[in-house]
């Protein structure tokens, strides 16, 4: 969510600069007989750790009420005030709603009320799967779904998974870190590296370039804004392990069946939209103890500084006064699920090469292990 104040000099859709052919591609985990495996042959399973959904969604989140560190013209409400003003609630059909105030006319210079929440749980690696019908958008609106390390920022890192401003159509994924973590151009992903003055922002270092971080803009116009909402929303996934941090997004009609069934298998999903590999960043060193954050702010360092070139009318400060400008500034969330990685020693591939019957037996055993781990989780 942290963002620079020099957005007028950035080219958000610039192409990736050519890279010498001799540079190696980042090696990702491989897939054998439908099971993802590590380089040493261990099989990777993703087992549910935490589920945030329905009537209990807000029970394990804290409401932030401090000033906006990105200088937004916003007042973040506490839980009771947000509930009382219907800026945070769960519908009877278990849709989780968080929104900016869209009913109050404001005098000039007055902040608009909104919500920012952080998970009580902290995570070190995992697979984070957000299913939502709507993400906020509109002139002057700046939402984010992100994770943030504990302690002094940015020494434990920040991962912006969904972020955009105004009526943009393309989501931006960004990492902000201490010095020394860099984006690797040769990593396979479908998005476009964000540039400043025609140069790729490869350094995630939050202390340079007015905290631009290292960002990737998604290619799909269904990844943010009106079109994402119009076609029924979708699913965003962030995978974080020692090999790197990768993000996928799927509009509603393209959500993989394994995600729908609660048995995510990232190796089935193709190239991610954005990826930070361990080739140029020690993931375990720069990212630790992250809580999950949702927020909606207004104007501020990004939406305010880019307003004049956004195609939105008037000024951001004037737009803030009229509540009708914020009817689309809402999160509508179906669920957020966090999966943990379980490594099982041994490879299914050897069994498959030796005997098809043994391969079938191993496959059944693997699914039995997954079912058992799920049962253990739900019984706790």
Of 340, 242, 248, 329, which Cα lies nearest the Cα of 284? Answer: 242
Distance (Å, whole) CA 97 – CA 274: 27
Distance (Å, whole) CA 118 – CA 60: 9
Distance (Å, whole) CA 41 – CA 38: 5
Looking only at the bridges linking them, the beta strands covering 199-200 and 214-217 are unpaired
Q: 165, 208 in Cβ contact below 8 A?
A: no
Q: List residues with catalytic annotation.
A: 158, 163
Helices (H) and strands (E) in the chain, counts: 7, 23
Distance (Å, whole) CA 38 – CA 243: 10
Distance (Å, whole) CA 329 – CA 102: 8
Looking only at the bridges linking them, the beta strands covering 172-176 and 158-163 are antiparallel
């Amino acid at each position: 969510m942290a963002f620079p104040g020099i957005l007028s000099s950035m080219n958000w859709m610039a192409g990736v600069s050519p890279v010498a052919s001799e540079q190696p591609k980042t090696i990702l985990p491989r897939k054998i007989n439908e099971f993802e495996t590590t380089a040493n042959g261990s099989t990777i399973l993703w087992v549910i750790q935490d589920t945030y959904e329905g009537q209990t969604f807000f029970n394990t989140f804290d409401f932030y009420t401090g000033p906006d560190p990105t200088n937004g013209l916003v007042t973040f409400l506490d839980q009771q005030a947000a509930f009382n003003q219907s800026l945070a609630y769960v519908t009877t059909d278990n849709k989780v709603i968080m929104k900016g105030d869209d009913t109050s006319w404001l005098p000039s210079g007055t902040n608009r009320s909104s919500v920012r929440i952080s998970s009580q749980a902290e995570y070190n690696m995992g697979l984070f799967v957000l299913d939502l019908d709507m993400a906020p958008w509109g002139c002057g609106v700046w939402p984010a779904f992100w994770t943030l390390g504990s302690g002094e920022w940015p020494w434990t890192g920040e991962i912006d998974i969904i972020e955009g401003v105004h009526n943009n159509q393309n989501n931006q994924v960004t990492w902000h870190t201490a010095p020394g973590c860099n984006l690797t151009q040769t990593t396979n992903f479908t998005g476009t590296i964000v540039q400043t003055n025609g140069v790729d922002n490869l350094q995630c270092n939050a202390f340079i370039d007015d905290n631009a971080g290292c960002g990737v803009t998604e290619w799909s116009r269904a990844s943010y804004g009106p079109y994402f909402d119009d076609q029924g929303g979708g699913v965003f996934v962030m995978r974080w392990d020692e090999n790197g941090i990768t993000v996928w997004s799927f509009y509603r009609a393209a959500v993989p069946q394994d995600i729908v069934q609660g048995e995510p298998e990232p190796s089935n999903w193709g190239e991610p939209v954005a990826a930070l590999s361990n080739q140029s960043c020690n993931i375990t060193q720069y990212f630790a103890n992250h809580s999950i954050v949702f927020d909606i702010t207004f104007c501020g360092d990004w939406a305010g500084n880019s307003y004049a070139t956004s195609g939105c009318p008037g000024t951001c400060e004037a737009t803030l006064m009229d509540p009708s400008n914020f009817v689309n500034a809402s999160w509508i969330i179906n669920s957020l699920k966090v999966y943990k990685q379980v490594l099982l020693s041994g490879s299914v591939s050897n069994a498959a090469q030796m005997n098809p019957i043994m391969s079938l037996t191993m496959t059944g055993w693997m699914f039995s292990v997954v079912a058992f781990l799920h049962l253990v989780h739900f019984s706790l």
